Amino acid sequence: MIASAILGEIGDIKRFPNVPSLIAYAGLDPTTFESGSSITKHRKLSKKGSKYLRTALWQGTVYSLVHNPNLKAFYDKKLSEGKPKQVALGAVTNKLTRIIYGILRSGQDYQLDFS
């Protein structure tokens, strides 16, 4: 169900020339604050994209922490770096989005590495 929601929201992957454009479409990019010549990035997500895609990716992330040892290890690494749980989940969601983009662009299956 999550996969069909993600695929339905993304549609044709060729609409997105690169991973950052897909991440922005999902609203997973950080917000920016511009004032004069200074530009800073805030820690909050922009949430300007598809809320349905963002929700499906977030749910996929939570599910993958149970079933994908690579993403679980990445999550644990972020926690060990002192990141809050929600920030670590956001990083894993970003990584999952990159994986999905790569799978859809290449047309190859995802190979889970258990080593």
In a domain, 56, yes or no: yes
**Residue 86, domain member (yes or no):** yes
In a domain, 39, yes or no: yes
Instruction: Print the domain residue range for 99.
Output: 2-106
Q: How far apart are the first and last CA of the chain?
A: 29
Residue 113 counted as domain residue: no
Q: Does any domain span residue 111?
A: no
Structural domain count, the chain:
1
Q: Cα–Cα distance between 102 and 10 in angstroms, integer?
A: 13
Instruction: Look at residue 115 and tell me if it is in a domain.
Output: no
Question: In 3-state terms, the chain is what percent helix, strand and coil (to 5)?
Answer: 60, 10, 25
Is residue 71 a part of any domain in this protein? yes
Cα angle 48, 51, 56; round to 5: 135
pLDDT digits 0-9 by tens, 63-113:
999 999 999 999 999 999 999 999 899 999 999 999 999 999 998 988 877
pLDDT of residue 96: 96
Residue-wise pLDDT tens digits, 9-65: 999 999 999 999 999 999 888 766 666 666 565 566 667 888 999 999 999 999 999
pTM beyond cutoff 0.75: yes
Domain-embedded: residue 33? yes
H or E segment at 14?
A: none
